[in-house]
Amino acid sequence: GAVVSQHPSRVICKSGTSVKIECRSLDFQATTMFWYRQFPKQSLMLMATSNEGSKATYEQGVEKDKFLINHASLTLSTLTVTSAHPEDSSFYICSAISYGRALNEQFFGPGTRLTVL
């Protein structure tokens, strides 16, 4: 399967700081990327969908000014958690699909564990 990477894998920050998480598709061009968050023992919650070169579409209840998404190229999307607070602590996972690949198979990154003190 295709490879999606995330960086960093783990980040600890103080309340009020901003954190940027990078998501890269390593061996394919990702026309669409998705950002999820996951709380312990729960399933994934979709935050937003982004297509290369256009603004992200956010799910209901997700603050677009707090979670800034930039899908600047076909292989890179970034999620910036602005002015992070302890309640933003979570596991963030990105995912990507490519129309160029058959079947719309979706591939996931390894996740980023964010802890806000």
Among 14, 86, 104, 114, which residue interacts with another protein (rule: CB under 8 A)? 104
Separation CA 117–CA 36 (nearest Å): 21
Does position 17 interact with another protein (CB under 8 A)? The reply is no
49 binds another protein per the rule CB under 8 A: yes
- Rounded CA separation 31/99 (Å): 7
The radius of gyration of the chain's CA atoms, rounded to the nearest angstrom, is: 14
61 lines the binding site for another protein (CB under 8 A):
no
Q: Does 46 bind another protein (CB under 8 A)?
A: yes
Identify which of residues 1 and 86 has a Cβ nearer to another protein in the complex.
1
Q: Which of residues 76-95 bind another protein (CB under 8 A)?
A: 91, 93, 95
Question: Do the beta carbons of residue 112 and residue 11 sit within 8 Å?
Answer: yes
Phi, psi of 39 (to 5 degrees): -95, 160
d(CA 111, CA 7): 8
105 contributes a contact to another protein by CB under 8 A: yes
Interacting residues with another protein (CB under 8 A): 1, 4, 6, 31-32, 34, 43-44, 46, 49, 91, 93, 95, 97, 99, 103-111, 113
